[in-house]
């Protein structure tokens, strides 16, 4: 059987919270977007879900062939924790060969509805996440990939960074000198200049978020 397929597959990537609130990199009510001019990162205080939708008629991911289990959609999640430890996870059908070296394997099953094929990936640990998707169909048509992070590319997509941060920041205020010369009615009196030192412990620190 011969199949002619000149239709370019379309891939859409979006991000949401567990409460089904869309995450946007240019601002949303429940998102603190890092105030970088290039808006390369989005920070959220809870689990983030990446939804990947492929529109393709000739989609055989996970099916058996004479060459083994079909695996044509390369998906790699790179996770970097607060200590700088990097974990790479490839999402692929069980029994197929990996596309990305030095990665762990996470076996998946796509949900298919006609020509629409869907997969969801959870970001639940406190870390920085970058998603990579690489896809060409069986006729070697490179996929058109678009994402809510503003990236539109052909064949290979690398996301902007999504940060999951559920750790409360710590603030410590220290005074020098520490001891007043007198305390009257809960008022402390000093006979010299007092210096207040404020220390904030926060991995995803944005100075403009601190209001004195």
User: 101 exposed, middle or buried (CB, 10 Å; 0-12, 13-18, 19+)?
Assistant: exposed
- Using a pLDDT cut of 70, give the percent of the chain over it: 86
User: 130 exposed, middle or buried (CB, 10 Å; 0-12, 13-18, 19+)?
Assistant: middle
- Using a pLDDT cut of 90, give the percent of the chain over it: 50
* Residue 61 pLDDT greater than 80, yes or no: yes
What confidence score (pLDDT) does residue 135 get?
A: 96
Tens of pLDDT, residues 117-161: 999 999 999 999 999 999 998 888 999 999 988 889 999 999 988
- Given a contact cutoff of 8 angstroms between Cβ atoms, the answer to whether 52 and 59 are in contact is no
* Residue 31 pLDDT greater than 80, yes or no: no
What confidence score (pLDDT) does residue 20 get?
A: 67
Preceding amide of 83 cis, omega within 30: no
Q: How confident is the model at residue 23 (pLDDT cuts 50, 70, 90)?
A: low
* Residue 29 pLDDT greater than 90, yes or no: no
pTM of the model: 0.79
Tens of pLDDT, residues 192-207: 898 989 888 877 776 7
Cα distances (angstroms) measured from residue 46 to each of 2, 30, 67, 126, 162: 48, 10, 41, 9, 11
């Amino acid at each position: 059987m011969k199949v002619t397929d000149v239709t370019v597959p379309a891939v859409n990537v979006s991000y949401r919270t567990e409460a089904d609130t869309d995450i946007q990199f240019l601002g949303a009510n429940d998102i603190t977007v890092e105030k970088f001019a290039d808006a390369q990162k989005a920070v959220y205080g809870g689990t983030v879900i990446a939804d990947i939708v492929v529109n393709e008629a000739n989609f055989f991911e996970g099916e058996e062939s004479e060459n083994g289990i079909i695996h044509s959609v390369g998906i790699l999640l790179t996770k970097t924790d607060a200590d700088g430890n990097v974990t790479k996870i490839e999402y692929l059908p069980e029994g197929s060969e990996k596309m990305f070296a030095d990665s762990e394997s996470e076996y998946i099953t796509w949900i298919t509805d006609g020509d629409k094929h869907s997969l969801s990936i959870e970001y639940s640990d406190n870390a920085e996440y970058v998603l990579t998707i690489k896809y060409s169909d069986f006729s070697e048509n490179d996929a058109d990939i678009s994402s809510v992070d503003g990236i539109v590319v052909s064949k290979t997509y690398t996301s902007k960074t999504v940060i999951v941060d559920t750790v409360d920041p710590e603030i410590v205020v220290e005074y020098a000198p520490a001891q007043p010369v007198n305390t009257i009615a809960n008022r402390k009196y000093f006979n010299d200049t007092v210096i207040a030192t404020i220390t904030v412990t926060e991995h995803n620190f944005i100075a403009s978020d601190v209001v004195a």
